[in-house]
Structure 1
Amino acid sequence: MKQGVQFLVFSAMIGAAASCGAKEDNKQQQAPPPVSVNIDTVQQAPALYYDEYPATINALNQVDIHAQVSGYITGIYFQDGQRVTKGQRLYSIDQQKYAGDYNQAIANLNVSKANLAKAQKNADRYLELDKNDAIAKQTVDNALADLDAAKMSVEAAKASAAAVETNLRYANIYAPFSGVIGISQVKLGSAVTPGTTILNTISAEGSLAVDFAVDEKEIPRFVKMQQQGGAIGDSVFTIALPDGSVYAYPGKIALLDRAVDPQTGTIRARLEFPNPQSILKPGMTCNVRVKSYNNDAILIPTKAITEQMGEYFVYVLGDSNKAVQTKITAGMRINDKTVVKDGLTAGEKIITDGVQKVRSGAVVKPASDAAVQDSVPKQAH
């Protein structure tokens, strides 16, 4: 009997301990209280802003200068970085060998011409004698064959002289067009090889090209601007230089590439900018700024946007006050607002404050709903 009482007491203790453990587990499994957040209602409003694209400045006409004959540089006839004109001599390569070859080719040509003259006289004489049947037919035929051979010898000598003359002419290198020449890659006495040694680079002056990639979704917009041509405003296309300043001269759209790159889904666009003060240099990077006016733009507080590995997200207030992380395409920032190109529609509610404490799917407690339109900026800085 005593053992039975002890068993009942022990069982009761176990039951009490299990009950306490269950209560503790339930307490731990209880969901955390909703995070208090501020929300805004997404609305549409007119906005003037700039879309920006990373770009590279390139010369509209640029060429690398190569040697076309081998030899040693014997003359450099310009200063690095100076403006040169079309046809101006830039370099000379040792001409002694090519001049000697040319003189020999001309001498061979003269010999061939002399042989031709002799063969022509013999042929004329024998043909005259043949009219009176005063010479063997075989002799006449041989004379005519010699005449043909002499003519072909002259043509061969002319071709050889022309080839050697070309090499002699290539020993002097001239500017193919007017422009600015760079820093010489060779010095006096340097050995050069045809097709492999780059002597220098010339870029045309005047306007320069600014190339940048455009998403295929924006092709219709840029095609329309290209078709409008000079009808669009002068300040539609500007560029921000590496130091952050805006270039003083506006540009114009020159062309869109012939095809979309299937790997990136973009097409290359080219703008043309004047360069009267030579501020722009080929190879520079910049940001193209394309002025845009949208009467129904979606703008949201910039503080509502979070960035993850180059992508942008906002938290949209979903059913049962659950936060839903939504990917957006962010555009230009205007004051404390950001243009949203894709991902949101008017009427949706987004979380603006407390986003650092929110996780997708978590229940939140809205604290306020400030309409975006109350403070929509009208123009970008």
Structure 2
Amino acid sequence: MKKESFILLSLLTLTLFSCNKKETEKKEMPPMPYKVVELQKANTTLTAEYPVTLEGITDIEIRAKVDGYIEKIYVDEGQEVKKGQPLFKLETQTATQDAAAAKARVDAAQVEVNRLKPLVERNIISDVQLETAKANLASAKSTYQSIVERINYATIKSPVNGIVGTIPMRLGSYVSSQTAEPLTRVSDISSVYAYFSVNEKQQLDIMMNAEGQSFQEKVNKMLPVKLFLSNGMAYEQSGKIETFSGQANVQTGSFNVRAKFPNANKLLRSGGSGTIQIPTDLKDVIIIPQNASMELQDKRIVLVVDNESKVKAVPVEVRAVSGGKFFVVDKGLNVGDKVVLEGVGIITEGTAIKPELVEYNEVINPTTK
């Protein structure tokens, strides 16, 4: 019995010794080293993306001015045409017959005027008869000219240089000025407008960071913008923002914006879509790597080291810098704060660490030597 009690006491003593040893080692463990950066001010460029709709600088609906059946279609969909080039011809047989009859009435009225003139000059008849004949001539000419114009309108020409759109009508289709659907559209796409919308905050962010005094001067001095096509490829030429709408849409609270892109190779087409990237230069802002923060309960958290080298969690408000590697910090951090660059999500608040200071310029410009 005494032997068993001795063994039990020995085991208990050994266990307590082991626990005390581990606790002592834990307490004596030195703080772990982590890379830390002291924040400074820097310059950067933010890029915002917006979906756009493309339209030609002129996008004109082609409609018939007179009634008739389509007799000829001179062009095809997607064809490039010049100003004044015939597009469609409507049937004019009836109008041609009407024109011949009207011309005959003009000739007859002219003969009557010519016959009465010498009679009036010799005072054989009164001026009234001649004036009546002249009025009849003018009326006949007006009727004839109206029919001729109707015949001319039957040949429908392109009002601008451009590209022919969809042609929904076919030969023999009856059209008039009241037809709901246009014969086609002709788009001048030598340059292309990109239309998009921004909300009030986005509009203020863009304009307040632009150079210039007046609103229009700020627009004129804005940086060139890039267009990414629907296949994800970047369009080869940069564009320029030209206008912001003067009033927000009362339903959406958004402003309409128009940018212009050159399109000499006709790659961009009216009705297309894409994404526009708008750069905004920011000066004297705080920048941190995105991996130096984490999402926690809908908040973005950064770990800051205090004067005792202990870690403190700080919520921040940020905007992403293009490229997906950095944030601009709008609220939560100040110049001189020491931010932990690694171990975010592992280090708990209040933990003492051994800060290893890294140069700020090396952090935000990793390629700079």
The question of a shared fold, defined as TM-score above 0.5 by the shorter chain, is answered with yes
Q: 1:335 to 1:279 in 2, by over 3 A?
A: same
Deviation sequence 1:143-183 (CA, Å, 0-9, x none) = 21111111111111121112111111111111112111123
Deviation sequence 1:256-293 (CA, Å, 0-9, x none) = 14513253554433322222332212222222223344
1:161 corresponds to: 144
2:173 alignment partner, one of 184, 190, 196: 190
The answer on 1:273 being equivalent to 2:265 is no
CA contact (8 A) 1:238 1:288 kept: yes
2:101 corresponds to: 104
The answer on 1:172 being equivalent to 2:155 is yes
Q: 1:291 to 1:376 in 2, by over 3 A?
A: farther
Structure 2 CA distance for aligned equivalents of residues 229 and 379 of structure 1: 33
Q: Size of the alignment, in residue pairs? A: 311
In the TM superposition, residue 101 of structure 1 has moved relative to its aligned partner by 1.7
TM-score when normalising by structure 1: 0.67
1:149 corresponds to: 132
User: Which 5+ residue runs of structure 1 have no aligned equivalent?
Assistant: 1-38, 130-139, 356-363
Deviates more, 1:53-62 or 1:161-170: 53-62
1:27 corresponds to: none
2:119 corresponds to: 122
1:286 corresponds to: 274
CA contact (8 A) 2:287 2:364 kept: no
CA contact (8 A) 1:334 1:377 kept: no
CA contact (8 A) 2:245 2:257 kept: no
* Within-5 A mapping of 1:73-88: 73-88=70-85
Percent identity, please. 25
Structure 1 CA distance for aligned equivalents of residues 39 and 300 of structure 2: 12
In the TM superposition, residue 186 of structure 1 has moved relative to its aligned partner by 0.8
1:50 corresponds to: 47
Structure 2 CA distance for aligned equivalents of residues 116 and 324 of structure 1: 100
CA contact (8 A) 1:49 1:379 kept: no
Amino acid corresponding to residue 190 of structure 1 in structure 2: S
Secondary structure, counterpart of 1:148 in structure 2:
helix
1:31 corresponds to: none
User: Which 5+ residue runs of structure 2 have no aligned equivalent?
Assistant: 1-35, 305-310
Q: 1:315 to 1:286 in 2, by over 3 A?
A: same
Structure 2 CA distance for aligned equivalents of residues 115 and 238 of structure 1: 72
Cα-Cα RMSD: 4.0
* Within-5 A mapping of 1:333-372: 333-340=322-329, 342-344=330-332, 346=334, 353-354=344-345, 365-367=349-351
TM-score when normalising by structure 2: 0.69
Deviates more, 1:297-306 or 1:95-104: 297-306
CA contact (8 A) 1:314 1:350 kept: no
Secondary structure, counterpart of 2:156 in structure 1:
strand
CA contact (8 A) 2:38 2:338 kept: yes
In the TM superposition, residue 96 of structure 1 has moved relative to its aligned partner by 0.7
In the TM superposition, residue 51 of structure 1 has moved relative to its aligned partner by 3.2
Secondary structure, counterpart of 2:364 in structure 1:
coil
Amino acid corresponding to residue 294 of structure 1 in structure 2: L
Secondary structure, counterpart of 2:122 in structure 1:
helix
Give the structure, 1 or 2, with the largest relative contact order (CA under 8 Å, sep 6 or more). Answer: 1
Amino acid corresponding to residue 182 of structure 1 in structure 2: G
In the TM superposition, residue 295 of structure 1 has moved relative to its aligned partner by 3.3
1:64 alignment partner, one of 56, 61, 64: 61
Q: 1:181 to 1:56 in 2, by over 3 A?
A: same
2:86 alignment partner, one of 79, 86, 89: 89
Secondary structure, counterpart of 1:189 in structure 2:
coil
Q: 1:378 to 1:191 in 2, by over 3 A?
A: farther
1:212 corresponds to: 196
Structure 2 CA distance for aligned equivalents of residues 267 and 313 of structure 1: 29
Structure 2 CA distance for aligned equivalents of residues 370 and 170 of structure 1: 83
